[in-house]
Amino acid sequence: MTDADLTITPLTVPGSLDDTDAADFIAFGDLSRLVCDEEVGLPDLSPTASQMLASWQDESDSLHLGFVARRDGDIVGMVSLSYAQEEHAKAAEFDVLVPAAHADEGIAQALLLCAEDDARRRGRDVMQTWTLHRPANTSDVLIPKTGWGRIPPTALSNLLEAHGYGLEQVERNSELNLHADPGVWERALADASAFAGPDYRSLTWELPTPPALRAGYASVLARLVTDAPSGDMEFDAEIWDADRVARRDVRMTSAGQLVAVSAVEHVPTGEIVAYNELLVGPDRAGMTHQFGTLVATEHRGHRLGTIVKCANLLRWRELVPQSSRVSTFNAEENRPMLDINEALGFVPVSYAGAWQKRI
């Protein structure tokens, strides 16, 4: 087959998955989960189409769009893009999805070039993407610019290297058995709370965020892209306020998802200075995802990371007793957070490579 046999068209975002034009978006969700399964055997790393739809429909804070590659009318690959909506934003995040059955047919390259062309048209000059990898069991490995972590090459990582992308960072994907003895978490929480002292107070809630907490929560959410270890990835600073938190809450609780937040308030200032989020889909027996976890830079060293993680895990066992495992990603150079995870029982199951290129 030749490139002339390949057509690439925009992905339609339906008003509902019951609409007559929803087939491609449903296929997008299925393809994303298939690729996760083929790459690392973990399809649940990707949300379903129903879980993604609300974020794609709301363009207030991030624009999501995609392109569909077809041959002879059959979908053979897709690429999705995400654009932050701040006026100063320069980055375009993208995800090339090509199943193993079509890996050697030039489809991934065509979709990569399509993504770069779209980014140029929108005035973005920094391309960013992530690749999934199984644990390295060979001497043939890729080393990121940070020097932390190792990943084996894949067809997609080879393509990215060939097109001038640099491997900036490696992230570890870890899982925790939620049905394990909670005594470890209870003791860690008690010790960390005593160490932190009375200047720090624990808060918990389920989305939607209570109105009185939205502004404070916005402040700490804005710091995830600036305070979390990211190597040389050029993440755009985000502008957050109470209204953006409320919009995010709607998106994250769409399709029957449940999200629990554990946070720490600095009592002398009233500021929220640490948080942890756990999310599960409508199938409460499915995988739990740990979303953002952050301790503000100036409040590190008080074991607040342990507090928010343990408090949320213990509460989660009561809220969602059916879910058996939680998945999280952390930068390999983020030893303080990895130390906490390992002490609580998290074990590595896969890895992600963070790639970047200026166009």
pLDDT at residue 104, rounded to an integer:
86
Identify the band that residue 2 occupies on the pLDDT scale cut at 50, 70 and 90. Answer: low
Cα distance between residue 60 and residue 308, in whole Å: 29
> Span 305-315, mean pLDDT?
98
pLDDT at residue 334, rounded to an integer:
94
Average pLDDT, the chain: 96
Q: Which residues pair with 201 in a beta bridge?
A: 265
Alpha helices in the chain (DSSP H): 23-40, 49-57, 107-121, 155-162, 183-196, 211-221, 224-227, 242-252, 304-319, 335-344
CA distances from 265 to 200, 201, 217, 276, 308 (A): 6, 5, 10, 13, 11
Cα distance between residue 348 and residue 204, in whole Å: 27
pTM for the full model? 0.95
Q: Any idea which of 207-211, 235-239, 317-321 has the lowest mean pLDDT?
A: 235-239
**In this structure, which amino acid lies at residue 102?**
H
Cα distance between residue 11 and residue 63, in whole Å: 13
Q: Which residues pair with 241 in a beta bridge?
A: none
Q: Which residues pair with 133 in a beta bridge?
A: 351
Identify the band that residue 1 occupies on the pLDDT scale cut at 50, 70 and 90. Answer: very low
Tokens of 333: 């150079």
> Span 332-337, mean pLDDT?
94
Residue owning tokens 């392109």? 67
Q: Any idea which of 61-70, 131-140, 186-195 has the lowest mean pLDDT?
A: 131-140
Cα distance between residue 327 and residue 341, in whole Å: 11
